Amino acid sequence: MLKRLLEPLLSNSFFVFGARGTGKSTLVREKLGGAVIIDLLNDAIFDDYLRNPKLLEALCGGRKHEWIVIDEVQRLPKLLNIVQRMIEEKKQKFALTGSSSRKLRRGSANLLAGRAFVNNLYPFCVDELSGSFNLEHALRWGTLPKIYSCTTDEEKKAYLRSYCLTYVKEEIVAEQVVRKLEPFREFLTIAAQMNGRIVNHSSIAKEAGIQIPTVQTYYQILEETFIGFFLPHYHRSVRKSQLSSPKFYLFDNGVKNALEASLDSPPFEGGTQYGDLFESFVIQEIFRLNQYHQKDFRLSYLRTKNDAEIDLILTRGNRTHLVEIKSSSRIDEIKARKLAKLAGGFKGCVKSYFLTRDRNEYEVSGVACMNWLNFLDAFAGLK
């Protein structure tokens, strides 16, 4: 069993949020052996608690269990009022998992006001896979835990295609967050094709045959069901950065490839698809590590008026790190110098990094040219 980087504090009740299939239930059950489990994905159990939420209190029968686990708690948000009362009055500890925060946040659900710590879980990281990691495999199939128990390409294709259908069925249809399913399906394909690019709501609306506000709502659904995240345009002011168009990254390359029906076209080194998937994967990794290691960096990108671009900017306080990501196996010193020139205009720039698959490492005009894996290894110590 692979060890996950997420280590929830067991001194307190906690949430574990994450997309379906990231291993939330497995993680919680490993950490809390012997806990009482309430699985709301089980239709019979869900129906029982829907009819009578007070069954949760009756479960204890007047005594306190060490831990009670409620899986997919967003299916019954009203249970959280009882959870809060049991935390306060009985000092009962809960582990609560969820694959959507939309229903909780938009339904004014009780998020326990700090009484339960919040954690997020993602597909496997490079560090979690350790010796099992293979870059080409990750770019094509992603790193969802289940993909590593599939033994053939056909099994992997079947799993990822089923995953996308399950997402639509269980997260979208079941929670009734969209009125018409077909436009949303079309949007999912376009969102996958636009992965890692600047979001153009008008263009996407025209292509999908929907209104711009609907496109905005659909992207919010993806974010709130943990299927992706926004990378805002850089500005020293957080408020002003929100005025520019963000990029959007799906949370897993395998799911991205399944949504755009490209699983039968494996990326090849040197191709555009390979480069795009590699950049996405590195940014996904940094996004995950930033949360797991509680680094609190604000992640953004920059495109200048002259179309010069910096793939990733890490900002915390008045300190900034610039990161350029290339899938090439050699360091391009001309591009590294362009990054150095852009870095000269950044107040508080601590360091600039030019990441490639080259095993050689050296500086070019003050830019640290290094292997992308070594940067990930050093990320926990970044200040």
156-186 confidence digits (pLDDT tens): 999 999 999 888 777 777 656 677 788 888 9
Q: Where are the beta strands (DSSP E) in 125-273?
A: 228-231, 247-250
**What is the mean predicted confidence (pLDDT) over 208-223?**
93
Looking at residue 177, its pLDDT comes to 65
Pairwise CA distance, residues 188 & 205, whole Å:
12
Percent of the chain with pLDDT over 90: 75
Beta strands per DSSP E along the chain: 13-17, 36-39, 68-71, 94-98, 116-120, 228-231, 247-250, 298-303, 309-316, 319-325, 349-356, 362-364, 367-371
Q: In the structure, what pLDDT confidence band is assigned to residue 116 with cuts at 50, 70 and 90?
A: confident
- Distance, in Å, from the CA atom of 270 to the CA atom of 248, rounded to the nearest integer, reads 23
Length reported for the chain? 383
Q: How far is CA 153 from the centre of its chain?
A: 24
Q: Give the pLDDT band (50/70/90) at residue 238.
A: very low
Which comes out higher in pLDDT, residue 304 or 45?
A: 45
* Ordered structural domains, the chain, with CATH: 13-120 (3.40.50.300), 126-275 (1.10.10), 293-381 (3.40.1350)
Q: The sheet that has 319-325: what strands, in order across it?
A: 298-303, 309-316, 319-325, 349-356, 367-371, 362-364
- DSSP code at position 198: B
**Alpha-carbon distance 142 to 252, whole Å?**
5
Q: What is the pLDDT of residues 21-32, one digit of tens each?
A: 999 999 999 999
> Average per-residue pLDDT in the chain?
91
> In the structure, what pLDDT confidence band is assigned to residue 215 with cuts at 50, 70 and 90?
very high
The residues, ordered by sequence, that sit 6+ positions from 16 with a Cβ below 8 Å of its Cβ are 6, 8, 24, 27, 28, 95, 96, 97, 98, 119, 120, 121
Quick one: average pLDDT of 240-264? 88
Residue 227 structure tokens: 């299927």
What's the CA gap between 311 and 305, in Å, rounded?
A: 15
Tell me what the mean pLDDT of segment 330-339 comes to: 95
Q: What is the pLDDT of residue 325?
A: 98
pLDDT band at 108 (very low <50, low <70, confident <90, very high): very low
Kindly give, in sequence order, each residue whose CB lies less than 8 Å from that of residue 191, ignoring residues fewer than 6 positions away: 204, 218, 219, 222, 228, 248, 250, 259
At residue 335 the predicted structure's pLDDT band, cuts being 50, 70 and 90, is very high
